[in-house]
Amino acid sequence: MRYRTLGDLKVSAVGLGAMPLSIEGRPDEERALATVRAALDAGVTLFDTADSYHLPGAEPGHNERLLARALAGADVLVATKGGRGRPADGSWTVDGDPRHLKRAAEGSLRRLGVEAIGLYQLHKPDPAVPFEESVGALRELLDEGKIRVAGVSNAAAEQIRTARAILGDRLVSVQNRYSPEVRDSEPELRLCAELGLAFLPWSPLGGISRSSLDGPSGLAAAGHFATFHEIAAERGVSPQQVGLAWLLAKSPTVIPIPGASRPETIRDSAEAAELVLSGAELARLERLG
Ligand SMILES: NC(=O)c1ccc[n+]([C@@H]2O[C@H](COP(=O)([O-])OP(=O)(O)OC[C@H]3O[C@@H](n4cnc5c(N)ncnc54)[C@H](OP(=O)(O)O)[C@@H]3O)[C@@H](O)[C@H]2O)c1
């Protein structure tokens, strides 16, 4: 495993996004626990979760409880989030009210069974609440010692600068969607590189589908993502590994958090930390736009 820095912590260059272990389509508990243990065995030391990773309408915190059980005693960083909810209709609501965030963090603390949350992230800016106020709740949680370091998610460049101004170097990470398919957070990725903030791409495998592995017709269906599959075939690795290695090459501050609901997939993804693409390979992938 290779490592990258997040604040003054060293974490595996590839983390586990634990969301698929708790939402719709989730595996049974035995497989979920086996997936987390496979990540640990593969050297993964960063685990991303949220209080809202649970079935619609259910109690918050299924994913946090699962990680707490599977990781008991392990020397890893659990990064959780607050500020979203999952009512019975299956939607994802947003609540950036400082009172809610502080209550949510208390719940996460209890479920994770820790004295202080390793990394606490504002899940999404709430358009109904001034961003400064939501980030102010993170500052209070930091001052109270309830969270060690803070991050923001789904944040625009201006919001990252605002959070930095409020939190100083206690802001250590930004988690935005970024993948071969969805690259609109390029400015935020660049800003994080400039400021030395970890950039955690969520849904990092977007565009590299499983079905497109199925032979030449599948490759054609993969459209311009076919280059990821071609390089994978040349290297004898999975296209998902090529996608993750491409992300890692974007900047030394990028730390992808691929999801998994099976031990095999996180084992494969973790190996991407060791895969270094050549300049020529990266140029072929960049030409895709
Ligand atoms: N901050 C936010 O707003 C936000 C939003 C969405 C997600 N996230 C975070 O980002 C994490 C990742 O996103 P995601 O789970 O939506 O999408 P993803 O990582 O792009 O894709 C996950 C899917 O890809 C498959 N996969 C993973 N590695 C693979 C490999 N090496 N080979 C083949 N298939 C592989 C998994 O299959 P199996 O299920 O078969 O293992 C899983 O179904 C989430 O778990 C969550 O922690 C954050």
Q: For residue 212, what pLDDT band results from cuts at 50, 70 and 90?
A: very low
- Rounded to the nearest angstrom, the distance between the alpha carbon of 259 and the centre of ligand 1 is 3
Give 264-281 pLDDT, tens digit per residue: 999 999 999 999 999 999
Tokens at residue 11, please? 């974490």
Fold classified for 3-208+251-276: TIM Barrel (3.20.20)
Q: Which string of DSSP letters, residue by residue, matches 35-78?
A: HHHHHHHTT--EEE--TT-SSTTS-TTHHHHHHHHHHTT---EE
Region 32-39 average pLDDT: 98
Query: 178 an active-site residue?
Result: no
Q: What atom in ligand 1 is closest to the CA of residue 264?
A: 41
Residue ranges of domains in the chain: 3-208+251-276
Ligand 1 contacts CB of residue 267 (under 6 A): no
pLDDT of 216: 47
pLDDT tops 70 at residue 218: no
Mean pLDDT on 69-95: 97
207 lines ligand 1 (CB under 6 A): no
pLDDT at 213: 46
Q: Please work out, in degrees rounded to the nearest 5, the angle formed at the alpha carbon of residue 35 by the alpha carbons of 33 and 38.
A: 110
In this prediction the pTM is 0.96
